[in-house]
Every structure is written in structure tokens, then in C-alpha cells.
Amino acid sequence: SQQGEEDPQALSIQEGENATMNCSYKTSINNLQWYRQNSGRGLVHLILIRSNEREKHSGRLRVTLDTSKKSSSLLITASRAADTASYFCATVQTGANSKLTFGKGITLSVRP
Amino acid sequence: DAGVIQSPRHEVTEMGQEVTLRCKPISGHNSLFWYRQTMMRGLELLIYFNNNVPIDDSGMPEDRFSAKMPNASFSTLKIQPSEPRDSAVYFCASRTLGGGGETQYFGPGTRLLVL
């Protein structure tokens, strides 16, 4: 079953613009992670935020987590054509040890 | 580091045939995961191992699916007999247990087509 649900399902922006993607989940979590998947490739880990954290940054990425609303957002600033990919949020539920549950993903297209 | 290695990268087979997918995790990683990705169902966890021991196989769809991890550097996912609805991309991922190693490292996937 899907724990994370991303929103929107697809996003198209111009190079240089910011891209904001949202994820909602249903149960209490240990941490939430964002992954990127380029077409025909495996997933690549982008960033992890723990349940006791509210915001994290990594380069052009900014992730926020609101555990009261059970939601997270991923912001990519100054987007580039190379950011075109599918983005997935994944959660580790409390007590679930290693197990990641993925959403269905958001398709981001960055037009040059 | 070579990353997670999967073979074959592409597999086309006929319904009823046995299919074996292979995975070599990153050296030193002691947790291994098998996922299946389809357009309809997204990315589903099939089974995962910690220290070569299966921990959760609740995602394995049917008895036709089986997975083994005979040692720390090799795992197989077998489908016997295969059916057209098994067509999907199968990913293997690995990570370290504990020590904050929650990040999973994915292989390139095996694209399976069952005719």
C-alpha cells in the first residue's frame, strides 16, 4: 500500500524557476526521504529528514516536514534541464526498521 | 565502488518460463531489498533481508516468487512460472544497518517482459 502521496503528479516549469513538490503520508514516521529517478535508471537518494527536524537543505534542495499535518515539501531552486526526472517521497514508519514505503512519484519537466 | 549490480538488465521471456534476477549489493552493506515498479502500482517492496536473513516477505505477490540471499554479496529473485502480469522493472537496493545508514542505494534495475 502507498504511504506517501505526492502532489502534483506532474509539473512543468521553465529553467531557472523553482519547483515545489509536496508529499503527504498517513502514519507516524521515523524519517522521510526524497529520491530522484531519471528515465530508465534506478532511484538516487536526495535528502533525508527525521521526524524531529523541520527543515533541511542540501545544495539547491530544501525539504520541510510538518508532522502535525503529516506532510513534506521538496523545493528545488533555480531549476535546470538536468533536474528533469521523477521524484519520490518515501517514509520509514515508526517501528518499521529498514522498510521504506514509496509514493507514486512526481514527474518534473524543466524546459530549457 | 561499483554500486549495486543487477543482471540481466533486460529479460524477455515467454509465459511459463522460469526467470532469475540477480543482485550484488554494495560491499559492506548488510541489508538488501527487492522492489518491483509498474506504472499502475508504482514502486512496491517485495522482500528485504538483514544480514542475509529474510525479514519481511509480505510484499511477495504469490508463491511463484521466491528470493534467496546465500551470502552477503549475492541475492536472487526467481519467478516460476512467469506470467505476463509479472512484466515490470525489478530493482535491488542495499544499505547499511544501523549507524544512521537509512539511505538505500538502488541498482539500475532489470526490465522484465513476459510474453
| Helix, strand, or coil (residue B80) | coil
* Burial group, residue A62, by CB count within 10 angstroms (0-12, 13-18, 19+): middle
| Helix, strand, or coil (residue B31) | strand
What pLDDT is attached to residue A1? 43
Q: How large is the average pLDDT for residues A42-56? A: 95
- Contact status of B31 with chain A (Cβ, < 8 Å): yes
Q: How high is the mean pLDDT of chain A?
A: 91
Please list every residue in chain B whose beta carbon sits closer than 8 Å to the beta carbon of residue A97. Answer: 50, 55
Closest chain B residue to A34, measured at CA: B103
Q: Could you give the strand order of the β-sheet that contains A55-58, starting from the edge strand earlier in sequence?
A: A5-7, A19-24, A71-76, A61-66, A55-58
Give the tens place of pLDDT for each residue, A60-101. 999 999 999 999 999 999 999 999 999 999 998 877 667 888
Q: How large is the average pLDDT for residues B17-33? A: 96
Q: Is the peptide bond before B25 cis (omega within 30 degrees of 0)?
A: no
Q: Compute the CA torsion angle A107, B58, B11, B9 (nearest 10 deg).
A: 60
pLDDT band at B114 (very low <50, low <70, confident <90, very high): very high
Contact across the interface for A42 and B4, Cβ inside 8 Å = yes
pLDDT band at B99 (very low <50, low <70, confident <90, very high): low
pLDDT band at B36 (very low <50, low <70, confident <90, very high): very high
Q: What percent of chain A has pLDDT over 90?
A: 78
Contact across the interface for B97 and A98, Cβ inside 8 Å = yes
Per-residue HEC secondary structure of chain A comes to CCCCEEECCEEEEECCCCEEEEEECCCCEEEEEEEEECCCCCEEEEEEEECCCCEEEECCEEEEEECCCCEEEEEECCCCHHHCEEEEEEEEECCCCCCEEECCCEEEEEEC
Smallest CA–CA distance, residue A67 to chain B, in Å, is 19
What pLDDT is attached to residue B101? 61
Q: Which of B9, B7, B114 is nearest to B64 (CA)?
A: B114
- Contact status of B25 with chain A (Cβ, < 8 Å): no
Size of interface A-B (CB pairs under 8 A): 51
Q: What percent of chain A has pLDDT over 70?
A: 94
Please list every residue in chain B whose beta carbon sits closer than 8 Å to the beta carbon of residue A101. Answer: 45
List the single best residue of B38, B46, B60, B102 to mutate versus A (max A Cβ within 10 A).
B102
What pLDDT is attached to residue B45? 94
Give the tens place of pLDDT for each residue, B62-83. 899 999 999 999 999 999 999 9
SS percent in chain B: helix, strand, coil, step 5: 5, 55, 45
Please list every residue in chain A whose beta carbon sits closer than 8 Å to the beta carbon of residue B50. Answer: 97-98
Contact across the interface for A33 and B56, Cβ inside 8 Å = no
Angle, CA of B68, B113 and A91, to the nearest 5°: 55
